[in-house]
């Protein structure tokens, strides 16, 4: 089922931030923390030993079914946290075709556009920074 959530990026403080948000809202995680070291091939592709316990993905329901998601950005991957890449509107679609349709519209005149790609977690995924400076993330079930 389609939904919209908010995705937050941190420089190594995702777990601390989400523990704080969990205590503020009095809610629980949708699923356990996923760690960078859990990503297939992470070490072979340059993940540093001090980054294996960083957060790859977390979800916390906050109010009225709205979900905060988060991840740690990684220095080893050249990531740098700044205003403009710290918050993303995450769109979850029912089909890859609907994701592609909306992606094409929102990415018109966009920068930092990745295109839509099949990902290891079983999703059709992409992101763009639209012409108004709003970052969008797209997720749909992998094409069958």
Q: What is the DSSP string of 72-140?
A: E--GGGT----TTTSEEEEEE-SSHHHHHHHHHHHTTT-BS----EE-TTSEEEEEEE-TTS-EEEEEE
Q: Are residues 72 and 108 in the same domain?
A: no
Per-residue pLDDT at 85: 76
- Distance, in Å, from the CA atom of 101 to the CA atom of 83, rounded to the nearest integer, reads 27
Per-residue pLDDT at 77: 77
Per-residue pLDDT at 86: 84
Q: Are the C-beta atoms of 109 and 131 separated by less than 8 Å?
A: yes
Per-residue pLDDT at 144: 61
Low-confidence ranges of the chain (pLDDT < 70): 144
Q: Are residues 111 and 58 in the same domain?
A: no
Question: What does pTM read for this prediction?
Answer: 0.74
> What range defines the domain where residue 38 resides?
1-76
Q: Are residues 44 and 111 in the same domain?
A: no
Q: Are residues 16 and 57 in the same domain?
A: yes
């Amino acid at each position: 089922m389609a939904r919209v959530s908010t995705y937050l990026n941190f420089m190594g403080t995702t777990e601390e931030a989400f523990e704080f948000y969990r205590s503020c809202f009095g809610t629980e995680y949708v699923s356990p923390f996923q760690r960078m070291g859990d990503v297939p091939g992470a070490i072979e592709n340059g993940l540093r030993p001090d980054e294996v316990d960083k957060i790859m993905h977390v979800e916390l329901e906050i109010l009225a079914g709205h979900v905060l998601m988060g991840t740690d950005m990684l220095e080893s991957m050249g990531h740098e946290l700044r205003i403009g890449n710290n918050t993303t509107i995450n769109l979850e679609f029912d089909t890859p075709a609907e994701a592609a349709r909306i992606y094409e519209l929102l990415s018109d005149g966009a920068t930092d556009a990745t295109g839509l790609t099949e990902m290891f977690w079983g999703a059709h995924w992409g992101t763009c920074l639209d012409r108004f400076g709003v970052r969008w993330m797209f997720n749909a079930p992998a094409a069958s």
